[in-house]
Amino acid sequence: MQLGPYTLPNPWILAPMAGVSERPFRRLAREMGAAATPTELVSCKGLMQGQGRSEKYLDHDAAEDPFWVQLFGGEIESMAAGAERAVELGAKIIDINMGCPVRKVTKNGAGSALLREPARAAALVEAMGKRTGVPITVKIRSGWSEESITMVEVTRAVADAGAVAIAMHARTREQGYSGTANWVQIRELVEASPIPVIGNGDAFTPTLARRMLDETGCAAVMIGRGAMGNPWIFEQLAREAEEPTPAGRWTVVRRHLLDHIEHIGDELRGIRNFRPHLAWYSHGLSHASRFRARVMTVTDLAELLELGEGFFAGALRAKGAVRAPIETKQALG
């Protein structure tokens, strides 16, 4: 798949997920075989105002080239200025979030609120492209509601404004993450879109991700909840690797934990912040509920490492069990 001057090595992309797609997890996904790992959604206003917290989201490794940053906002000037700052901090591709369903985002005219205003969505793409000169991509949902399916109208508008690709989560804003993603809509958008379409929604396993690619004709598949606590999904897709052994699983979890603490810069805050990741890593394994209960109370790193090693050494997925989708209230971009 081509994004401006950049060619992705395969069609498997990590979705931009708030609280998940931080630098340490993006690094793991890349090493496992993900072709690209966009950042979680970052406030353009925060970047424009030079807020350290917003700029921290743009910490990245050289191996992430081309570094793909997802931005959100609703005001044309602040989005253009924020995009310019993102490029100064290393962004090579800018993605505009037009799919986030969370009210605190949509009430300000950002995220999926833009699905109701194709002209404003196009104006954002044009302004950000002119200001930065880098490829602009867009992430949308199928529409605001079942009565307002605007995916084709929005896609054509942003393509005319210069967007080089569009990712579509095949649910409406009203659905949130409930129900089932409508892959038929991905195929319909592929047929109507003048730019490459990246499919997103319910690609929880390698089998489902390959099915989405085959059944919809999309150029690539963006994997969200299927990768939470499971970066191995990219290794299985890109290299046809086997399910990790217990020892191999713990090696990755331990490294992710230590990298995460280093990234946060504070041991206690890093441990607390990493607890959801440990819950996701244990998802579907034996005695996971007991492990999660223990994890929520541990504040000492040595104790947590001992607990994790003991759990993952003995925790196996039940024979024949399928990894179920993770239910989460996380804002998944």
Indicate if the pLDDT at residue 71 is higher than 60.
yes
SS3 content of the chain, % helix, strand, coil (to 5): 50, 15, 35
Among 16-20, 74-78, 227-231, 244-248, where is mean pLDDT lowest? 244-248
- For residue 222, the cross-strand partners are 13, 200
**Pairing of β 197-200 and β 6-7:** unpaired
Omega within 30 of 0 (cis) for the link into 38: no
Catalytic residue among 100, 110, 168, 304: 100
* Contact indicator for 106, 71 with CB cutoff of 8 Å: no
Active site residue 100: yes
Rounded distance between C-alpha atoms, residue 128 and residue 47, angstroms? 14
pLDDT, residue 69, reads: 98
pLDDT band of 320, cuts 50, 70, 90? very low
pLDDT 10s digits, 153-170: 999 999 999 999 999 999
Assigned token pair, 188: 């319909």
Rounded distance between C-alpha atoms, residue 60 and residue 49, angstroms? 20
In one-letter notation, the amino acid at residue 272 is R
pLDDT 10s digits, 236-255: 999 999 988 888 899 999 99
Burial code (b: 16+ CB inside 10 Å, e: under 16) for 29-48 equals: bbebbbbbbbbbbbbbbbbb
What fold characterizes domain 2-239? TIM Barrel (3.20.20)
pLDDT band of 309, cuts 50, 70, 90? very high
Q: Where are the domains of the chain?
A: 2-239, 246-314
pLDDT, residue 121, reads: 97
> Element (H or E) spanning 172, and its range?
strand 165-172
Q: Which of 20, 60, 13 is nearest to 41 (CA)?
A: 20
pLDDT 10s digits, 115-155: 999 999 999 999 999 999 999 999 999 999 999 999 999 99
Cβ neighbours around 152 below 10 Å, total:
17
Average pLDDT over residues 253-268: 97
Q: Which residue has tokens 């602040």?
A: 78
Q: Which residue has tokens 């925060």?
A: 46
Residues in Cβ contact with 51 at an 8 Å cutoff, skipping those fewer than 6 apart = 43
Angle, alpha carbons 71-92-235 (nearest 5°): 90
Q: What does each C-alpha distance from 305 to 19, 29, 73, 278 come to in angstroms?
A: 22, 22, 39, 11
> Element (H or E) spanning 276, and its range?
helix 267-281
Is the CA virtual torsion 79, 80, 86, 89 positive or negative? negative
Q: Which listed CATH number (3.30.2020, 1.10.1200, 2.40.50, 1.10.760) goes with 246-314?
A: 1.10.1200
pLDDT, residue 318, reads: 45
pTM over 0.85: yes
